[in-house]
């Protein structure tokens, strides 16, 4: 059935992209993780569409007529799963203070920890420094002797998130 072939093809291509990602990251982890990951998903998608387009078992043609419905379903399935992975990857790339703390407290069990141990936990994990370094590595901030300068650019993604915050929460406070 064509419907199930579309689903299976999209998931197979996704698995192929994830395998390539895993192998490439074993060889060398790129500096700009997210851009590299998105590029990899794009390359695998283009290659697979090219192959599926040309093959005799093409999903997207019937009697020589292009079937955009199946093509779009294939693409939407692939890209929604790919974006889920990219988002999960961005969350796991750096440590989450909340999740790290929850895990740490779980390991300590019923005994718990005193406030000094919590302070020590955060001293061992300088989250702010790590995030600033990540922004410098991603070429969003430029480090100078006095501080950090924002590299010129539109930063649509960041502005969209902040706009959403303003619309829904009415303010964007500082904090962690």
Partner 1 sequence: MAPEWFYLLSPILALAAMVVVQAVFLRLRGGEQFFASVMAGFLAGLVVAIAMQVALLWVFPRNLDRWVLAFVANPAIYVMLAYCFFNFINLGHASIRIRIFKECHDRGGFITHEELRAVYDDERIRDVRLKRLLDGGDIVKEKGRWKLVNPRLVPVANLVFALKYFVLRRKSEFEKVS
Among positions 114-133, residues that touch partner 1 (CB under 8 A) are: 114-115, 118-119, 122-132
Work out how close the CB of 44 gets to partner 1 at its nearest, in angstroms, rounded to a whole number.
16
Q: Does 169 interact with partner 1 (rule: CB under 8 A)? A: yes
Please give the structure tokens belonging to residue 110: 């019923």
How crowded is residue 79: how many other Cβ atoms within 10 Å of its Cβ?
16
Q: What is the spatial distance between Cα 45 and Cα 22, in angstroms, rounded to a whole number? A: 16
Q: Which residues contact 95 (CB under 8 A, 6 or more apart)?
A: 125, 127, 130
CA 53 centroid distance within chain: 28
CA distances from 160 to 6, 82, 126, 163 (A): 33, 21, 28, 5
Q: Does 62 interact with partner 1 (rule: CB under 8 A)? A: no
Place of tokens 């999960």: 88
User: Which residue in the set 16, 29, 43, 62 belongs to the binding site for partner 1 (CB under 8 A)?
Assistant: 29
User: Which residue in the set 15, 69, 137, 139 belongs to the binding site for partner 1 (CB under 8 A)?
Assistant: 69
Contacts of partner 1 in 82-121 (CB under 8 A) = 83-84, 87-89, 91-103, 105-106, 108, 110-115, 118-119
Contacts of partner 1 in 129-158 (CB under 8 A) = 129-132, 134-135, 140-141, 146-150, 152, 155, 158
- Among the listed ranges 25-33, 39-47, 52-60, the one in contact with partner 1 (CB under 8 A) is 25-33
Q: Does 12 interact with partner 1 (rule: CB under 8 A)? A: no
């Amino acid at each position: 059935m064509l419907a199930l072939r579309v689903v299976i093809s999209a998931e197979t291509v996704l698995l192929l992209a994830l395998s390539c990602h895993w192998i490439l990251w074993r060889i060398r982890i790129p500096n700009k993780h997210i851009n590299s990951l998105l590029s990899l998903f794009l390359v695998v998608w283009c290659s697979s569409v090219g192959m599926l387009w040309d093959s005799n078992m093409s999903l997207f043609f019937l009697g020589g007529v292009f079937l955009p419905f199946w093509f779009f379903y294939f693409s939407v399935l692939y890209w929604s799963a790919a974006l889920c992975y990219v988002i999960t990857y961005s969350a796991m790339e750096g440590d989450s203070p909340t999740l790290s703390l929850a895990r740490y407290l779980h390991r300590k069990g019923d005994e718990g920890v005193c406030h000094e141990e919590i302070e020590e936990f955060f001293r061992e994990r300088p989250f702010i420094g790590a995030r600033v370094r990540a922004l410098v590595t991603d070429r969003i901030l430029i480090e100078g002797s006095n501080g950090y300068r924002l590299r010129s650019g539109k930063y649509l993604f960041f502005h969209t998130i902040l706009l959403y915050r303003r619309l829904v929460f009415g303010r964007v406070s500082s904090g962690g």
